[in-house]
């Protein structure tokens, strides 16, 4: 105990080893759904799903250990929702392979690391209007919810023969009914503030699916075989090809990825530090540079291991609420993710209809920032609206962000408010214009 106290400065932060352990378990339970949700999304890009589970757990475990041991901050990390959708539905299509897409993720992490080292990350944060940041977060939330609705069969793609692009699915289908049950179950758990609500919802919905098959004598959800599972596979690790995407044509995509990846951590760190009373008298977060360095390295680690970009999780607030104040909390979360690796082959048994409610509700939670967008300020409200609707409707995070940036700069110029455009925004908008001009 004395060693832990000295290593993590537990007493000085008015915590105990017991609180840190309880906090770590609470945080793990609230974010463990990523072990199912991330592989389900990456599989649509061609990443082997069984390997994606093991690599997701490994990447989260290593990055949480880094955060705890290096930065000594109670914040856990794992593959980011939204970022994984960007990799699966945007980067893979643009680059031609998921390996090249992971290469862009590695470059993203290294670029953000450089920005931290030279001290410009906060300056870049100030360049993007807050309403656009909120629209990006909410738009990605809607995108993830749409993916969940499609995976559940609640919404179906319609053949482009004059009909609508999307239509309602049939509620007579077992997978749709299972997803609806899962959505109601998980929502009820969230309303009751049950720890690990999303994870419990996934497990409960999976069991409902298996029970339906057992009673009906069908194979809608049960696997064909429940024996002979191989050990966890790390086939997806070290397949990233960063050199392959070191081309000018991919610069706008890299920029979009940086924008998506860039802003979450500062907001998460600020929120957790405020909740846990970890700021100094001036409101600054101690060891902020170390926290940002770990976060940047984590993005590169996630790409290298084929798990998409690893980023900081606001779900860490569950651990802070339990009294966690130090990096021991993050170490506990990391060890639990590593312990989960042997379970990887069994997690692939979870049906898509059981994961879909988690995606829908994560999208709902990410869309919370929509309520704070100032739509009454038209010169900002219109770009925010375009960002918000085009991310899900175009099935492209890059196009949504680009539309928001370009329209923001254009409207400021046309309304004579040139001085309100930060140079970084002007450069970003110009790059997106060039990107769109290529026919992307």
Instruction: Choose among 185, 182, 206: nearest CA to 194.
Output: 185
List the pLDDT tens digit at each of the 440 positions of the chain.
678 877 888 888 888 888 899 888 888 987 888 998 899 899 999 999 889 999 999 999 999 999 999 999 999 999 988 789 889 988 999 999 999 999 999 999 999 899 888 877 656 656 778 888 788 878 878 887 888 898 888 888 776 666 677 788 788 888 899 999 999 999 999 899 887 788 788 889 989 988 888 888 787 787 665 555 568 889 999 999 999 999 988 888 888 788 777 666 665 676 567 667 777 666 667 778 888 899 999 999 999 999 999 998 877 877 887 788 899 999 999 999 999 999 877 776 778 788 888 888 878 887 887 888 899 999 999 999 999 999 888 877 778 888 998 999 999 999 989 888 888 788 888 888 887 776 65
Paired strand residues for 156: 167
Question: DSSP string covering 302-360, please?
Answer: HHHTTS--EEE-GGGHHHHHTT--SHHHHHHHHHHHHHTGGGHHHHTTS-HHHHHHHHH
Residue 226 pLDDT: 54
Q: What is the pLDDT of residue 27?
A: 87
Spatial neighbors of 361 by CB under 8 A, at least 6 apart, are 183, 186, 187, 190, 198, 201
**What's the residue count for the chain?**
440
- Residue 82, CA atoms < 13 Å, CB-side half-sphere: 32
pLDDT of residue 316: 84
Predicted TM-score (pTM) of the model is 0.76
What's the angle, vertex CA 227, arms to CA 223 and CA 233, rounded to 5? 85
């Amino acid at each position: 105990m004395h060693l832990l106290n000295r290593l993590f400065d537990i007493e000085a932060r008015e915590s105990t080893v017991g609180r840190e352990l309880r906090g770590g378990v609470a945080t793990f339970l609230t974010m463990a759904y990523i072990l199912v949700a991330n592989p389900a999304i990456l599989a649509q890009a061609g990443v082997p799903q069984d390997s994606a589970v093991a690599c997701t757990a490994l990447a989260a475990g290593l990055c949480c250990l880094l955060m705890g041991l290096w930065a000594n901050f109670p914040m856990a990390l794992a593959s980011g929702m939204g970022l994984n959708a960007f990799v699966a539905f945007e980067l893979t299509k643009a680059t031609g392979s998921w390996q090249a897409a992971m290469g862009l993720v590695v470059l993203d992490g290294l670029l953000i690391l450089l920005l931290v080292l030279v001290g410009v990350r906060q300056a870049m944060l100030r360049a993007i209007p807050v309403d656009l940041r909120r629209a990006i977060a909410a738009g990605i939330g809607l995108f993830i919810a749409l993916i969940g609705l499609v995976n559940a069969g609640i919404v179906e793609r319609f053949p482009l023969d004059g009909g609508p692009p999307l239509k309602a699915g049939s509620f007579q289908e077992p997978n749709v009914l299972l997803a609806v049950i899962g959505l109601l179950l998980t929502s009820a758990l969230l309303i009751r503030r049950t720890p690990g609500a999303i994870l419990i919802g996934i497990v409960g919905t999976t069991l409902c699916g298996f029970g339906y098959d057992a009673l009906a004598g069908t194979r809608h959800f049960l696997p064909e075989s429940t024996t002979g599972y191989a050990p966890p596979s790390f086939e997806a690790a070290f397949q990233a090809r960063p050199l392959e995407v070191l081309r000018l044509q991919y610069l706008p995509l890299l920029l979009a990825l940086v924008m998506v990846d860039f802003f979450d951590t500062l907001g998460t760190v600020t929120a957790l530090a405020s909740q846990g009373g970890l700021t100094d008298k001036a409101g600054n977060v101690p060891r902020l540079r170390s926290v940002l360095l770990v976060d940047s390295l984590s993005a590169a680690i996630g790409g290298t291991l084929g798990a998409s970009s690893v980023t900081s999780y606001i779900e860490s607030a569950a651990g802070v609420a339990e009294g966690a104040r130090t990096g021991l909390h993050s170490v506990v979360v990391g060890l639990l993710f590593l312990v989960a690796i042997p379970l990887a082959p069994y997690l692939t048994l979870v049906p898509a209809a059981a994961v879909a409610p988690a995606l829908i509700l994560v999208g709902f939670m990410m869309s919370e920032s929509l309520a704070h967008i100032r739509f009454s300020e038209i010169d900002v409200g219109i770009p925010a609206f375009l960002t918000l609707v085009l991310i899900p409707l175009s099935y492209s995070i890059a196009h949504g962000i680009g539309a928001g940036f370009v329209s923001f700069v254009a409207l400021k110029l046309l309304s004579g408010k040139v001085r309100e455009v930060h140079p970084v925004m002007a450069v970003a908008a110009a790059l997106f214009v060039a990107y769109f001009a290529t026919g992307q």
